[in-house]
Amino acid sequence: MLHDALIITRREVRDSLRDWRIVAPIVILTLVFPWIMNLSTRAAFAFVEEYNAQIIPARLVPFAVMIVGFFPISFSLIIALETFVGERERNSLEPLLGTPISDAALYLGKLLAATLPPVMASYLGMTAYLIGMALSAQPIPDWSVLTQIALLTTTEALVMVAGAVVVSSHTTSVRAANLLASFIIIPTAFLIQVETALLFWGAYQVLWFILIALIVALALLIRTGVRTFNREEILAREVDEFNLAAIARMFRKFFIGEKFSLGRIYRYDLPRLVRANGLPIIFTSLVMLGGAILGWGLAVQYPVPTEALGAFQVDPAEFQKQLDAPGMGILPRLDTWSIFFNNTRALLIAAILALFSFGALALILLLLPVGIVGFFAGQAARLGTDAFTFLVAFILPHGIVELPAAILATAFALRMGASIIAPPPGMSAGENLIRACADFLKIFVFLILPFLLIAAWVEATLTPQVVLYIYGR
C-alpha cells in the first residue's frame, strides 16, 4: 500500500511544484519572512535590554521559531483542500479514481503530497532564521525545545491536511471547501495561541502533552478519512445541497420518532440509550475518578501551609453570609435556580466544544471541578479531617444526583464529538452526527435536566445544613 501511496505522492508533488501560485508564496515565506523576523527579534532584544528584562529574549526566540515554521505549513491547507475537489474542477478526477490502487493508498498519497512541500519549506525557514540568529550572536534555544517545535509544526501540518482532505472529498467545489476550512483554521489558531502562552511561560514540558493530543487527533482524522472515502460517491456527487428541511426531518425522527410519546421515551428510549452508550459512560466515569486522584496527588505535592488554612471548621454566622452573598464571576449564587442554570450552561458548553475536539474538551472540562474536589479533600486530610467525612458533608448530598447527570452528559457529548470518526455501515458521517446530537438532546432534556434541578435544590437547601451539622459544632 505504501508503494502505491508514494506513486500518488510523487505525481501530486510534481504538479504542485509546477504551480507558481503555490511555489511563490512558499518561497517568499521561506526566504524573506525569516529575515524579517530576525530583524524584529533583534529590535525586540535591544528594547527589552534597556529595562534589564533578560528572561524575555530567552522566551522570545522559541516563539519566533514557531511562527516562522507555522506560516509555510499554512499553505498545506490550501493544497489539501484541492486534493479531490480541485481534480474535479480540472476534469482529472475520473482517471485518478480509476487507478488500480486501494482507497487507503490513494488517500494516504494525497495526504503526504499536500504535507511534504510546506513542511520542507517550514524546516528551511526555521533553519534560515536560526542561522541568522547565530550569525548575529543572538541566543539559540536548546535542542530539546527546537525538537519540540519541529515535531509540533510537522504534526500540526498533518492534522490540518488530514482534516482538509476529508473536507475536499466531501465537497463539489473549491469554494465550498474553502468555506468549510474555517472548521480547521479556527481550532488551529486557538492551539497556536495556547502554544505561544506556554512558550512565553517556559512550560515546555506541557508541549509534549499537546504533541500527544495532536498525534491522537491525526490518527482519528486519518481513520475518518479512510473509512468515509468512497470513490463512487465522490464521482456521483454533482452538487452540494444544504437541505435544512431534510436535516430537520432526520433530527426529528431520531429525537422523538414517528410520533411523540413521553411514556415510550422513559420506558424504552432512555434505557436503550444508556445501555447502548455503556462504553463511553464507563470511560467517562474512569476519567472522573482519575481527575479526583490527580487532584489529591496535587494536594500532596503542593500542600497549602497550615497557617494559611487554619483549623478546618465552619462558623455558622460567617457560613450564612457566604450563602447569601451574590455570585462571583463563573461562581453562581447559592440558590436553586442559579446553581441549576450554571450547571446546565457548563454541560452545554462542554457538549459544543466536544464537537470540535472529538469529545476531548468535554472530558477536560469535567476533570477541572472533579480535580478541585480531590485537591480540597486532600488538603482536608492534611489538616487532620477525615476526607470521607469532608466528601459526605460538602459533596455527597447533591453529588448523588449531580455526578450521574454530569457523567451522562459528558459521555453523550463524547459520543457526539466522536460520531464522525467511525459511522456505522450504511450511514454517512453527517447522518451519524445528527443521530448523536439527537440522542444527546433527548437524554439531556428528559433525564439530565431533571437530575440537575433536583441536585441544585439539594445543594442550595440540604447540603449547607449537612455542612453545619458536621463542621459547625
- Name the helix (H) or strand (E) containing 171: none
The pLDDT of residue 347: 94
Burial label for 47, CB within 10 Å (0-12, 13-18, 19+), is exposed
Average pLDDT, the chain: 79
304's CB contacts (< 8 A; 6+ apart) are 379
The pLDDT of residue 410: 94
**Which amino acid is present at 439?**
D
Q: What is the pLDDT of residues 394-439, one digit of tens each?
A: 888 899 999 999 999 999 999 988 887 666 766 766 778 888 999 9
The pLDDT of residue 188: 82
Q: Which of 90, 87, 118 lies closest to 23 in space, CA to CA?
A: 118
Decide if pLDDT at 327 tops 70: no
Confidence band of 233 (pLDDT split at 50, 70, 90): low
The pLDDT of residue 408: 95
Cα–Cα distance for residue pair 394/316, rounded to 1 Å: 15
450's CB contacts (< 8 A; 6+ apart) are none
The pLDDT of residue 190: 81
Confidence band of 118 (pLDDT split at 50, 70, 90): confident
For 238, other C-beta atoms within 10 Å of its C-beta total 8
- Maximum average pLDDT range among 113-117, 366-370, 418-422: 366-370
Give mean pLDDT, residues 297-303: 82
Decide if pLDDT at 1 tops 70: no
Give mean pLDDT, residues 190-205: 84
Give mean pLDDT, residues 171-196: 74
Q: What is the DSSP letter of 331?
A: B
- Name the helix (H) or strand (E) containing 191: helix 182-201
The pLDDT of residue 112: 82
Give mean pLDDT, residues 315-340: 69
- Name the helix (H) or strand (E) containing 466: helix 449-471
The SS3 assignment for 410 reads: helix
**Which amino acid is present at 278?**
G
The pLDDT of residue 88: 60
The pLDDT of residue 422: 67
Q: Which of 211, 108, 100, 118 lies closest to 165 in space, CA to CA?
A: 108
The pLDDT of residue 400: 93
- Write phi, then psi, for 357 (nearest 5 degrees): -140, 20
Decide if pLDDT at 105 tops 60: yes
What Rg do the C-alpha atoms of the chain give, in angstroms?
27
- Maximum average pLDDT range among 167-181, 189-203, 278-292: 278-292
Cα–Cα distance for residue pair 231/98, rounded to 1 Å: 9
Cα–Cα distance for residue pair 118/325, rounded to 1 Å: 56
Helices 244-256/429-443 angle, 10° precision: 50
Cα–Cα distance for residue pair 207/185, rounded to 1 Å: 20
Q: Which of 37, 38, 31 lies closest to 136 in space, CA to CA?
A: 38
Global pTM reads 0.71
Decide if pLDDT at 393 tops 60: yes
Q: How far from each other are the two terminal CA atoms of the chain, in whole angstroms?
A: 73
60's CB contacts (< 8 A; 6+ apart) are 41, 44, 45
Higher pLDDT pick, 324 / 200: 200
Cα–Cα distance for residue pair 217/226, rounded to 1 Å: 14
The pLDDT of residue 467: 80
For 470, other C-beta atoms within 10 Å of its C-beta total 16
Q: Which of 157, 163, 196 lies closest to 26 in space, CA to CA?
A: 157
Burial label for 244, CB within 10 Å (0-12, 13-18, 19+), is exposed
Residue with cell 486532600: 378
The pLDDT of residue 195: 87
- Maximum average pLDDT range among 217-221, 304-308, 438-442: 438-442
Confidence band of 258 (pLDDT split at 50, 70, 90): confident
Per 3-state DSSP, the chain is made up of helix, strand and coil in percentages (nearest 5) of: 80, 0, 20
Decide if pLDDT at 311 tops 80: no
Confidence band of 11 (pLDDT split at 50, 70, 90): confident
Higher pLDDT pick, 260 / 85: 260
